[in-house]
Chains A and B, each alone.
Chain A
Amino acid sequence: MELQTALYPYHKDHAKSMGEFAGYMMPFYYEAGVLAEHKAVRESLGLFDVSHMGQIALKGDGVIDFIQRITPSALEKAAPTTAKYTVLTNEQGGIIDDLIITKLADDHCFAVINAGCKEKDIAWIESQLPAGITLTRYDDRALIALQGPKAEAALSIAIGQDLSALGYMRMAHYGDIWVSRLGYTGEDGFEISVLAGDALALWNKLIDDHGALPCGLAARDSLRLEMGYPLYGHDIDAETSPIEADLSWVVRKKDADYIGGAVIAEHVANGVSRKRVGITLIDKGVAREGVSITDADGNEIGKLTSGGHSPSLNKSIAMGYVLAEYSAADTDVFLDVRGRKLKAVVTKLPFIEAKTKSATPKGKAA
């Protein structure tokens, strides 16, 4: 029996395609269809139920040091309310999960972890917890992602708060409503944590009063793929280091005193033999996870870890790992799709430019 989020009553009545994801019964797409949902987020306003993801807090003296022990990120100098994308690393320098951690105070952090990794992550963190630091699960909370150019105006009215001053990757608390200005679509937007019992009312208000289009997991996937954002268990896993995964920007430079730090420092110093890259198809077709990437002679140089149609580019795009010597942008490669050898090219990520708030400051000429 699949788990249900607080918004399941809506999904049950409105989703056109639903299925199990990470143990939860989730909508893949609604009546409008994936392309319309994708377009709504890029051009207007889309709404996602991401309540299946885990919400936790870590509290206690020394919590920043602890997070700097279980992730390669630097948080000590970050101002309170700053959110950071980072990874939990294992002893081998591989990735246990990717997550967003928000520093609320020197002794208090909030984190959102992947649904499919929730129990594993919590068990791992608890196994590492020093005395004096506690982990709190917010299983009584729902999480709604409101994404798109109209997000700020809509949410400001919906919750009666002026959100224009809330910066990108910042979090604000309004009573029981916790708002973070971030997302996984490349658009401006918010993730809103609310008590499970309040979720349906906010969800319906955003649809009915603000024209937000409910979007399923399929659009979430095509949106994040266009941004080159990795999907855990596909593009990154326990066997991939952040350096191989092209996530070196999350790794702090000043020390390697974190779990797996020695391996990752070695990858930084000496380079890696394979790298995660973006790939754009030149020939017609769609290439998905598991497809073999070859050179012109048909020698395998890697495999795709994600792939699909990009509605924004109207092309097929993919991500995968290739041998480092093939990882430079504009390198010609081939994809073996059911025996057809499709021409493709390594492409710098993201495939399209992010429009998050910091990327387009107010007043900047278009």
Chain B
Amino acid sequence: MSETKYTKDHEEIKIDGDIVWIGITKHAGEALGDLVFVELPDVGATFDKGADFAVIESVKAAAEVYTPVGGEIVEVNDALPDNPEQVKEDMDSGWIVKIRMNGADDLSDLMDEAAYQAFCAENA
């Protein structure tokens, strides 16, 4: 049974055992505007908690995507560089990477959906 969480940087996270799917929230997708490219990391690359691991290029600017957990990239969504708008879809097709998290990471700073909605409303 997987669990969905959100970050203050507007990543959407699906936690499935030690595998964490990372994408962006609907709210972030709307704020980015028209997308032109998604730059993905290499499979096997490792990132510390809080590091930027991917870049979403909109017609306006480059937006970095951060990982809320440290770990190793086990899979990347190869469809995104050619179809960057897909990153705005639900996690099933809009996920960016799957990362195998280091055991020790603390996930308590992640928000559930209600907390995230409240966070967006507060910062609107």
- Interface residue ranges, A against B (CB under 8 Å): 16-17, 28-29, 33-35, 218, 222, 284-286, 288, 308-309, 311, 316, 337-338, 340
For the complex, give the distance between the alpha carbons of A97 and B36 in Å: 31
On whether the beta carbons of A285 and B59 are closer than 8 Å, the reply is: no
Partner of B55 from the list A28, A35, A316, A338 (CB cut-off 8 Å) is: A338
Can you add 14 more A-B contacts, CB < 8 Å, to A33-B33, A311-B59, A337-B39? Answer: A16-B33, A17-B33, A17-B60, A29-B60, A33-B34, A34-B59, A35-B34, A284-B37, A285-B39, A286-B36, A286-B37, A309-B37, A338-B39, A340-B39
For A314, give the chain B residue with the smallest CB separation.
Answer: B36
On whether the beta carbons of B55 and A309 are closer than 8 Å, the reply is: no
Partner of B59 from the list A16, A309, A338 (CB cut-off 8 Å) is: A309
- How would you classify the secondary structure of chain B's contact residues: helix, strand, loop or mixed? strand
Given A33-B34, A35-B34, A309-B57, A284:B62 Cβ within 8 A? no
Q: B81: CB under 8 A from chain A?
A: yes
The A-contacting residues of B in range 54-89, CB under 8 angstroms, are 55, 57, 59-60, 62, 81
**Can you report 24 residue pairs joining A to B where beta carbons are below 8 Å apart?**
A16-B33, A17-B60, A29-B60, A33-B33, A33-B34, A34-B34, A34-B59, A34-B60, A35-B34, A218-B33, A218-B59, A284-B37, A285-B37, A285-B39, A285-B57, A286-B36, A286-B57, A286-B62, A288-B62, A308-B59, A309-B57, A309-B59, A337-B39, A338-B39
On whether the beta carbons of B59 and A222 are closer than 8 Å, the reply is: yes
| Number of B residues with CB within 8 Å of any CB on chain A | 11
On whether the beta carbons of B36 and A28 are closer than 8 Å, the reply is: no
Interface string of B24-58 (1 = CB under 8 A from A): 00000000011011010000000000000001010
A319 vs chain B, min Cβ distance (A): 17
A284 vs chain B, min Cβ distance (A): 5
